[in-house]
Amino acid sequence: MSRIVFVNGEYLPEEDATISIFDRGFVMADAVYEVVSVLDGKLIDMEGHQARLGRSLEALGIGNPMSDDDYLSMFRELVSRNEMRDGMIYLQVTRGNPGDRDFTYPPADTPQTVVAFTQSKPGLAENPAAQTGWSVITVPDQRWGRRDIKTTQLLYPSMAKMMAKEAGADDAWLVEYGKITEGTSNNAYIVKGDTIITRELSHDILHGITRAAVLRLAREAQMNVEERGFTAEEAASADEAFVTSASAFVMPVVQIDGAQIGEGKPGRIATRLREIYLDEMRKTAV
Ligand code: PDD
């Protein structure tokens, strides 16, 4: 069955969905995006994703063409038209189509381009990888300096993912000035004793919506959280490690650069956090 996707106010079969070759998103990666998970037909942490979309657009001086209510109804419409139970919704907003290629931004009244589509992943929350955990390699972080803005400049993260695949690993952790920033498309954590350690928020990492929820839930469960950078060596000698993202939720990491982390299987705290997170998110899904 072909998907029904959303393009600039219209719901269309995916094969009929088009945007201009001059769109700033296409020629300049002048665009921001969000990925929102869907479990049992309901949207996970929609409010958090809408708030970050607003911040990303604001940081780039792109107007937000739709209200929070519009996004919510559009997402629900996509879930319903595609009869999706579990999966993700991808949303992209670009600075629009100036009608030609030009480094200068187009006039502010140029309509933004809005595209959204579903990606069905039956059993997303029961991903068997969560039982065995991921292996990661480390690679230099060669991305730009505003990683807190969720832009579609994903070439380097894709290259890093390919380096991981070629090395037989599941993902790459990016390293800058000796410390891990984050994964290719997730935030990175280690656990030492009873303390969860993850890099502090700054322009250096994406402010994960899952990260915010997981840290809040960890603190509510009386777990210790330390927000600071850590090295690959510290990760290799940690008791546990994990990553978080809207699509992987809380995913244990059991190996870094070929070295086993802890017992080489998903740790107690990562496993507990995954349960608490999924439980809470199912309850608050909209
Ligand atoms: N990626 N860091 C980076 C670089 C990311 O691309 C992502 C999300 C995260 C986690 O953010 P969140 O918890 O809000 O999903 C951290 C999405 C899932 C993607 O690109 O598919």
Task: Using the atom order of ligand 1, give the atom closest to the CA of residue 205.
Answer: 2
**Which amino acid residue places its CA nearest to atom 5 of ligand 1?**
185
The string over 152-165, giving b where at least 16 C-beta atoms fall within 10 Å of a residue's C-beta and e elsewhere, is bbeebbeebbeebe
What pLDDT, on a 0 to 100 scale, did the predictor assign at position 78? Answer: 98
Atom of ligand 1 nearest to the CA of 184: 4
Distance 11 CA to ligand 1 centre (A): 26
Whose CA is closest to atom 3 on ligand 1?
Answer: 185
**Cα 80 to ligand 1 centre (Å):** 25
Hey, what's the torsion of the CAs at 144, 145, 150, 152, to 10 degrees? -10
Low-confidence residues of the chain: pLDDT under 70: 1
Respond yes or no: is residue 150 known to be catalytic: yes
Task: Report residue 69: phi and psi, to 5°.
Answer: -65, -40
Domain with CATH 3.30.470.10 in the chain: 4-122
CA 110 and chain centroid, separation: 28
- Pick the atom of ligand 1 nearest to 147's CA: 4
pLDDT for position 158: 98
Q: Two tokens at 86?
A: 């579990």
Place of tokens 């322009």: 203
Distance CA 46, CA 242 (A): 23
Q: CATH 3.20.10.10 in the chain: give the residue spans.
A: 129-284
Q: Are strands 259-260 and 134-140 parallel, antiparallel or unpaired?
A: unpaired
Residue ID of nearest Cα to ligand 1 atom 4: 185
DSSP 23-75: -HHHHH--EEEEEEEEETTEESSHHHHHHHHHHHHHHHT----S-HHHHHHHH
**Which DSSP category does 256 fall into?**
E
Angle at the Cα of 75 (from 74 to 76), degrees rounded to 5? 90
Helical segments of the chain, H only: 24-28, 46-60, 68-81, 129-132, 155-166, 209-220, 232-236, 268-284
CATH number of the structural domain 4-122 = 3.30.470.10
Distance 174 CA to ligand 1 centre (A): 14
- Residue by residue, DSSP assigns 73-104 as HHHHHHHHHTT-SSEEEEEEEE----SS--SS
Helix (H) or strand (E) holding 13: strand 10-13
Predicted structure pTM score:
0.97
Residues with CB under 6 A from ligand 1: 35, 182, 185-187, 206, 208-211, 244-247
Residue 44, number of CB atoms within 10 A of its CB: 28
What is the CATH number that goes with domain 129-284?
A: 3.20.10.10
